Amino acid sequence: MNYRVTVLASARTDLDRLYEYLLSRELERDGDLDYPEQVIADILASLTLLEKFPFTCRKVEGSTFLRELVIPIGHSGYLALFEIATADHVLVSAIRHQREDDYH
């Protein structure tokens, strides 16, 4: 079975926020200015796992349908909060860095 994955506006806002943070960090360090774009691309590529295997991701708050995808990047990574909304549709509602306190 294939699931349709929709990245909601709230998750796109999170991606923009993460990009801006990574870019400012790289600018402060005179670092790799391509790094933020690569991280966002890697996060989006990781979401394709949800097209086939959304039920393999860990449950959130005991719900069967609200789950988190762990996306390892570098020494830590990111988390994508999503809901299996219907029998063939997944909604990604938030994306955050693993070291952030919680979803916004």
The verdict on residue 85 lying in a domain is yes
Domain count for the chain? 1
30 inside domain:
yes
pLDDT per position as a tens digit, 62-96: 889 999 999 999 888 999 999 999 999 999 999 99
Instruction: Decide: pTM greater than 0.85.
Output: yes
103 located within any domain:
no
Domain range for 41 is 4-97
pLDDT of residue 10: 98
Q: Sign of the C-alpha dihedral, residues 81, 83, 69, 34?
A: negative
Q: In the prediction, which pLDDT does 100 show?
A: 83
Residue 31 Cα distances to 7, 12, 28, 35, 39, angstroms: 29, 25, 8, 8, 14
Closest CA to 66 of 93, 46, 40: 93
Q: How confident is the model at residue 103 (pLDDT cuts 50, 70, 90)?
A: low
Query: 92 with 51: CB under 8 angstroms?
Result: no
CATH number of domain containing 75:
3.30.2310.20
61 pLDDT band, cuts 50/70/90, is confident
Cα–Cα distance between 52 and 20 in angstroms, integer? Answer: 30
**Is residue 102, in this structure, part of any structural domain at all?**
no
